[in-house]
Structure 1
Amino acid sequence: MSTVEVISLGGVGEIGKNCTVVRQGDDIVVLDCGLSFPNEEMPGVDIVIPDFTYLIENAAHVRGVFLTHAHEDHVGALPYLLQHIDVPIHASEFTLALMKPKLDEQLPKRKLDLRPFQFGDILEAGALSVEPIRVTHSIPENASFAVRTVHGIVLLTGDFKFDFTPVDGKLSNVTRFGELAKEGVVLLLSDSTNVDRKGWGPSEKIVADGLRKVFLESPGRVLLTTFASTIHRMQQVYEVAAQTNRKVAVVGRRMEQNVETCSRLGYMKIPPGTRISLEETKNYPPEQLAILTTGSQGEPLSALVQMSKGTYGRLQIQQGDTVIYSARPIPGNEAAIWRTINRLFRQGARVVYGDDPPVHVSGHAYEEELKLMLNLTRPYYFAPVHGERRHQYELARLAFQMDYPEHRVFLLDIGERLVVEETDARIEDRVPCGRVLVDNSGTPGVTDDVLRDRSNLSREGVIAVTVAIDVEMGEVVGDPYVQVRGVHSSEDVGKMVAKALDDLLDSLNVDDLRDSDKVRHLLAEAARRVVQRSIQMRPLVLPTVVEV
């Protein structure tokens, strides 16, 4: 009988970059294809995506990519995978609608095989099949996936919570999870993000009460920032705005696209007369306006961050504005978010964040909901995913408290193969894996050497030295030219380096000066040595030899 392998190319030991592979024999299915955001040790990097080497090497066996929902940490890396392999993409109609503008933008010449599914469909994928099950989250049409294998069901919860009063009225299919348990769940891969939060997570619906309180108390405009794909949250903004006699405008290209798409498809029901364009806001007094904007994670080019700096041409912060942060910081983004909040306060805005009033709730299961998922599905093996190592560890500990033996609970790391056989499961060697960095060039593959150079540039600065040499005569032509950028010192670093280079060049003979590579190396060494000795800094030195 075939073995079944489960491999996380991302989303374990980290928040984001979710991508899970299930393989049986020659058939592979990919569950989600997400990105994560850079930390402060990645200067100039825009996004981080999984290393897709394993999928590229096995492209002939990939039967499809299946997407749980439309958040970037689950779908954002898909355009980069599709640059290398051509496979069907299975997702809900809603998820495909939100993704299509981005896919068209990044893959303009590709004819993609996009296949919408309904919850409860059985999607054949070679010898495997995938069934999407409805489960609540902070976005419509969110799915868990039941992958049927020869050894039973591999169940990926995806992002979930058990919200019994969802904004769109569509409940998690709790009954179906129980039915899958009777059929036999061999492995449960469960969201672990909120395992450290006790009890039950609050319903998305309570956010409306918090928003209403802030809208009524605010003397001027209300600006609310959240993820562009948090559709339920934006729906509630429109409803509360209508109740409090405010009009709503949207700022941010992706958010504008999503509002347009969701209202057209019926996933957002905007009260008549509430929606206006940003240009129309000048026709209303501040106390009658609410504005949805991107920038909840401190993204440098987002609308709100530019507003906080006073550099956003379409909209400026005014005295009396109230700004609501209706999103939880992604780990690594906290410093950028606090900087933005502080700038907003300096401009005279009131900033509302945190839980009082409740202007944000999490879309992820709390401890009791995680227990419920385990009890509903009763898996034989269990592996916490979608979390940092501490989250995985705590959810494993919760499973032990529920009498799961240690040999049936696995803490996965990126690239490890969890091999399931008829009577056994074990972790085996990794497949090629890791992180791939993408900067604003859009080209994946920013290397550690590039990061190191960028980091050094930001800390130590750069010195460029240029020397002209007549290689035929073996003579220096003119004086060395030294440019210094980003190097701070009470001494004149440029003059110091120029003198060291003059001394070096005077010491070289004709044969030395005819060897441009040798001269270039000696110039760099001399400049580095004098700067390090004099001011204890290690700037990047760029030597150039011009042959005349």
Structure 2
Amino acid sequence: MSHPHPDLSAPPALPPGGLRIVALGGLGEIGRNMTVFEFGGRLLIVDCGVLFPETEQPGIDLILPDFEYIRDRLGDIEAIILTHGHEDHIGAVPYLLRERRDIPIVGSRLTLALLEAKLVEHRIKPNTQVVAEGEHRTLGPFELEFLSVNHSIPDALAVAIRTPAGLVLATGDFKMDQLPLDGRLTDLPGFARLGAEGIDLLLSDSTNAEVPGFVPSERNIGPVVDEVFRTAQERLIVACFASHIHRVQQVLDAAVANGRKVCFIGRSMVRNMGVARELGYLSVPDGVMVDQKELEHIPGDQLVLVCTGSQGEPMSALSRMANRDHQTVRITERDTVMLASSLIPGNENAVNRVINGLTRWGARIVHKGNALVHVSGHASAGELLYVLNMTKPGNFMPIHGEWRHLRAHAKLASLTGVPNENIVIAEDGVVVDLVDGQARIVGAVPAGYVYVDGSSVGEITETSLKDRRILGEEGFISIVIGVDSTTGKVVAGPEIHARGAGITNEDFDEVVERIQSALAEAAGKGVTDTHQIGQLVRRTAGKWVNENYRRRPMIIPAVVEV
């Protein structure tokens, strides 16, 4: 197997007739999916998504792929191909379009509709091209074929990319539900046909590579949802992804069967379900939907609220309900809350916090841990083996997963007969060239995190985040000192204030003496530079705090020359 190396150098020029593949996100992580293909000096991008921040990234709204690799070549981009409408595949498109607004965007009808609704908020009118399974498109040197795949959102696509360098199949996110709710199967005959033609490189979804067997059918959830509806005493609150149209359809059907009205809560939920309903992907019977303003006039046992927040997002509707600060919904002990989604790795603490908050008010909680209210949208190991045996790729590169998922998928490929030397395990930024039928790692390019914080894009650095973590965990101490600009002697202060450091102002008497003594010694040595004085103050105070409190707060000295 080819392994990534942290000391990889910049890649050489792409050999004539070769195809270059560079993932700028999605490898070693769940999210930020973006892969760049290069042939003959032209670029094709497959997906352009975001990663959601974790607790050690305070204040961050979104994490984008690093566009630096393609920033000087925006004019070489033929198109962005979107495999489906999840945020981790389309969420970064608005930020790339800021750099070149006329990049053609190719995707299915629902995918592009969800993207266009998002782009309205960014005031961008995109250049979109709708495709469907079975269609072929030629974009520069890239000949594309689109195939249907089953996923947890309708209209998902896999894409086959043909160039003189060979045939590449990128599965996108998929599973092999044989009884899908919308009747749209993963195109296994198409996969087999491409395998018979000769797939030179397979890029396949690795999210559930560690999970044995096959993913259960979405249809298995229907009876469980019906039972939850039937036994709910008062209001039923269902939290799921704002893109999970299949799950919302099941909730709507169960609501009709049990005589309940439905209200969508949360901006993204209202927006996405409006798009899905308009395009015919969501069937809403007349008289079922109610507006949020009408809730107080409807008895609880006749009401279903469908909202966001299944991942414990701090500002989501469900989190606000758990904290008792939602503007219209107040949880009571007769309410039932159903979390109809998988748990994204890293969100465990946030979700448990929401569950505990809801339970505190007496609500009955139904989630994947105690009922079959969700099945994954990603193929398990049995399905991945099926695809590997069917496609018989010459080279294999696992994508879309954390390191453990990528390595588990690579092991599956090896078991099916793909030669170990033809299995490429890459990470974000690693450059893979397909030349003469062989895929090899040839170098690396920058592919770091780009943070979105409010209207700021890319201005927050790792150093800034480190400062935020220190402030959040250890607090800060400010020390103001006035010094004589000629002699460097202290003429005022030090005046010390602390916030969040667990130290009261009265405790600082001892360190004031230490600082005064250290500054007097420095002045005696002729030190008058304010920066040097500030550093001396920081070191002296930091040592004292560490000795006495075993803490490392941020210390901010302010030296004023008089």
Question: Is this a same-fold pair by TM over 0.5?
Answer: yes
In structure 1, the residue matched to 2:327 is: 313
Alignment of 1:12 onto 2:6: no
Q: How many residues align?
A: 546
- CA distances 1:254-308 after superposition (whole Å, capped 9, x unpaired): 1111111211221111122111112212122111111111111111111111111
Alignment of 1:102 onto 2:127: no
CA distance in 2, matches of 1:244, 1:474: 80
In structure 1, the residue matched to 2:13 is: none
Change in CA separation of 1:442 and 1:349 when aligned onto 2, cut-off 3 Å: farther
Change in CA separation of 1:423 and 1:501 when aligned onto 2, cut-off 3 Å: closer
SS at match of 2:457: coil
In structure 1, the residue matched to 2:109 is: 93
Contact 2:260–2:304 under 8 Å retained in 1: yes
CA distance in 1, matches of 2:493, 2:505: 21
Gaps of 5+ in 2: 1-15
Alignment of 1:41 onto 2:59: no
Tell which deviates more after alignment, 128-137 or 354-363: 354-363
CA distance in 1, matches of 2:531, 2:446: 37
Tell which deviates more after alignment, 182-191 or 399-408: 399-408
Alignment of 1:212 onto 2:226: yes
1:113 Cα deviation (Å)?
A: 1.6
1:493 Cα deviation (Å)?
A: 3.4
In structure 2, the residue matched to 1:2 is: 17
Map residues 463-482 of structure 1 onto 2, 5 A cutoff: 463-469=477-483, 471=485, 476-482=490-496
Alignment of 1:362 onto 2:368: no
Tell which deviates more after alignment, 494-503 or 504-513: 504-513
SS at match of 2:374: coil
In structure 2, the residue matched to 1:152 is: 166
AA paired with 1:466?
V
Contact 1:475–1:513 under 8 Å retained in 2: no
Alignment of 1:484 onto 2:498: yes
1:39 Cα deviation (Å)?
A: 2.6
In structure 2, the residue matched to 1:79 is: 94
- CA distances 1:319-360 after superposition (whole Å, capped 9, x unpaired): 111111111111111111111111111111111112653110
1:546 Cα deviation (Å)?
A: 3.3
AA paired with 2:144?
V
Q: Which residue, 65, 69, 77 being the options, matches 2:84?
A: 69
AA paired with 1:72?
E
Change in CA separation of 1:11 and 1:474 when aligned onto 2, cut-off 3 Å: closer
AA paired with 2:31?
G
In structure 1, the residue matched to 2:347 is: 333
AA paired with 1:301?
M
| TM-score, normalised relative to structure 2 | 0.92
AA paired with 2:110?
F
In structure 2, the residue matched to 1:265 is: 279
Gaps of 5+ in 1: none
| TM-score, normalised relative to structure 1 | 0.94
CA distance in 1, matches of 2:543, 2:321: 44
Q: Which residue, 144, 150, 170 being the options, matches 1:130?
A: 144
In structure 1, the residue matched to 2:435 is: 421
Q: Which residue, 529, 532, 536 being the options, matches 2:543?
A: 529
In structure 2, the residue matched to 1:186 is: 200
Tell which deviates more after alignment, 223-232 or 478-487: 478-487
Percent identity reads: 38
AA paired with 1:53?
E
Alignment of 1:56 onto 2:58: no
Contact 1:512–1:519 under 8 Å retained in 2: no
Alignment of 1:21 onto 2:9: no
Tell which deviates more after alignment, 347-356 or 66-75: 347-356
Tell which deviates more after alignment, 435-444 or 124-133: 435-444
1:469 Cα deviation (Å)?
A: 4.3
CA distance in 2, matches of 1:445, 1:123: 38
CA distance in 2, matches of 1:234, 1:381: 39
CA distance in 2, matches of 1:210, 1:390: 32
Contact 1:474–1:511 under 8 Å retained in 2: no
In structure 2, the residue matched to 1:457 is: 471
Contact 2:490–2:520 under 8 Å retained in 1: no
SS at match of 2:31: coil
CA distance in 2, matches of 1:111, 1:361: 35
SS at match of 1:492: helix
